[in-house]
Structure 1
């Protein structure tokens, strides 16, 4: 997703495209939670890669991948559900769930918070929280 932000000056994605990408992010997160019993721990634009290297320009001027298929990357911060992130390094501040910021155990919903922050960023072209 960061690649798209560099191509498009306003950072916003078309609604239908953003929803298709968001659905895949949620499905990927659900797979990690349900099948592997882990949370990703670093869902943010830079850990979401498109499968296609080819981009097209839409009539509205957006640069978009030919297909919106994505892969969740950066699983180095993943950890088991109900564990505690002792050093609080999981998640960047702009995407950090409240329970992690408060030093509580990771929950199934921890990645969902980060997914929602990414969705906001896709819709509005800027992070939900300004941490600068």
Structure 2
């Protein structure tokens, strides 16, 4: 490869790195999803990561996972088990979501398909009563 090609490749890599860093600084909630941190440990949901997370234990409202599902939120320290409970009157299947603290799990519209919801995070709402 000649020097010009190497310079173009290096410039592209440098620009990509700066864009990634800029996104993490400007929109940290976009990279805060930590669903892999909440798992069953000795039969209970617990945080298995080394950082605190805000976990959500949710139940499907009408057989499909939607933004209006009933969820219980709890901030979990590393190794801490989930103690919040859900409304037992609902019959949907439970599922979990988690984000690095202080961000709160939520369903968000996919970037590529506006009809598709995917798990994500948002900044905490001070007035919602959800974990800060």
TM-score between both structures, scaled by the size of structure 2: 0.29
Q: Which has the higher contact order (CA 8 A, sep 6+)?
A: 1
Normalising by structure 1, we get a TM-score of 0.29
Is the radius of gyration larger for structure 1 or structure 2? 2
Greater share of helix: 1
Q: Which has the higher strand share?
A: 2
